[in-house]
Structure 1
Amino acid sequence: MKNLKSIALALVVVLSTISVTAQTKKVNTSASTINWVGKKVTGAHEGTINLKDGTLVFKGKKLVGGTFVVDMTSMIVTDLKAGQGKEKLEGHLKADDFFGSDKFATATLVFKKLVTKAPNVYTVTGDLTIKGITKPVTFDLATTTTSATANVKIDRTKYDIKYGSGSFFDSLGDKAINDDFDLAIALKF
């Protein structure tokens, strides 16, 4: 009986010292989506942008990291049709006034801190780089065994995107554009 207890105790000690190795899950970029919405005084515009690369890192079932690269040249407007200003707005969003995608073809996000909020829901703080400027961003991310979703609000002025911002320019009236834009992200892996 004493030997059985000793063996059981030894087994518990051994099992508790075995660390769970991290598992990196590559995001399926063609099955994942990023939808954006930018609002202004007189309405809003929306569209999509493509994920170029991405990974989520799990230890067991717990999310412990992630890195993403977004293709800024892939930004399109979906609420306008050709001939209704679609091409003009897409060109403007890719111009230096906004995202400068000729010079800054990608944006990146690197997870720095994850806090479990609920089962399979995490509050993520990461370093977001847009136009070569890196600032922290915080959002909630929900995961399943094959997917993850998040809604992220980003203040564009932190990345030197000030065009039409009422925070920086007076007398814009109904031409003012909100500083924040929203991303709805759905990842498949």
Structure 2
Amino acid sequence: MKKIVLAGLVAFVAFSFKAVDVEKKEVKANESKIVWKGYKVTGSHEGNIILKSGSLSFNEDKLIGGEFVMDMTSLNVTDLEGEYKGKLEGHLKSDDFFGIENYPTASLVFTDVKATGKNSYSVTGDLTIKGKTNPITFSISIYGNKATASLKVDRTKYDVKYGSASFFDGLKDKAIYDEFDLVTDLQF
């Protein structure tokens, strides 16, 4: 009798949980765009980073996950030309900033996704830059096969402290703000 009751209980529990159908959609890296924008006391600079790979996971039409890898060696500057463009790109790729020789990629893995509207979500994820991982929360909107998101990143959490008034005194107008923006337009 105990075996029948136990078997019935196991069957009830097993059928009580609906299997989650996860559809993983690969992001078309060559059709997607990541723009960075950094700020300093005297202005700002911006450029692009190429998406190496990425995917978004859905249950039916609801976003439930995602993961991305950015090619930090592709980091470029789009608001300067010539010598100044080359100098800034070289400095951003150096150990003062992103140290691309040792850290050629950065990654983002979604850890929690909450719907905030019909096509919008609040996402918390683990962002890894220069081998350091920290949680980050941002909004993402999805329309058809496109997704857009804007992330505000505190670079000092990833050991990118060059020119930060939070760590160095007397920088005056040479200070670079701790936060930079990543704006993404993804196609999948």
What TM-score results when the alignment is normalised by the length of structure 2? 0.90
Give the 3-state SS of the residue equivalent to 1:118 in structure 2: coil
Q: Distance in 2 between matches of 1:150 and 1:53?
A: 16
Q: Report deviation, 1:20.
A: 4.7
Query: Structure 1 CA distance, aligned partners of 2:19 and 2:168?
Result: 55
Work out the CA distance in 2 between the residues paired with 1:146 and 1:124. 18
Q: Which amino acid aligns with 1:113?
A: D
SS class of match (2:29): coil
Q: Secondary structure at the match of 2:72?
A: strand
* CA contact 1:164–1:175 (8 Å) conserved in 2: yes
2:53 counterpart residue number? 53
Is 1:88 paired with 2:81?
A: no
Equivalent residue, structure 2, for 1:5: none
1:97-131, Cα deviation, whole Å (9 max, x unpaired): 00000100000100000111111100000000000
Tell me if the contact between 1:157 and 1:179 (Cα under 8 Å) persists in the aligned partners: yes
One-letter amino acid matched to 1:126: G
RMSD between aligned alpha carbons? 1.1
Aligned to 1:69: 69
After TM superposition, give the deviation of residue 21 of structure 1 in Å.
Answer: 1.0
Q: Secondary structure at the match of 2:89?
A: helix
Instruction: Detail structure 1 runs of 4+ shifted over 2 Å in the superposition.
Output: 16-20
Identity of matched residues, %: 56
Report the secondary structure of 2:90's partner residue. helix
Report deviation, 1:82: 1.2
Matched-pair contact (CA < 8 Å) for 1:35–1:48: yes
Equivalent AA in structure 1 for residue 138 of structure 2: F
Tell me the matched-pair count: 173
Contact 1:20 1:60 in 2 (8 A): no
What amino acid does structure 1 have at the position aligned with 2:38?
G
Q: Is the 8 A contact 1:57 1:65 kept in 2?
A: yes
Match of 1:3 in 2: none
**Structure 2 residue matching 1:79: 3-state secondary structure:** coil
- Aligned partner of 1:78 in structure 2 is 78
Residue 17 of structure 1: how far off its partner (Å): 6.8
- AA partner of residue 81 (structure 2): K
TM-score (structure 1 length as normaliser): 0.89
Equivalent residue for 1:144?
143
State the match for 1:126 in structure 2: 125
Name the residue aligned to 1:26: 26
Name stretches of at least 5 consecutive residues in structure 2 with no aligned partner: 1-15
Tell me what 2:104 maps to: 105
**In 2, Cα distance between equivalents of 1:20 and 1:173:** 54
Structure 1 unpaired stretches of 5+: 1-15
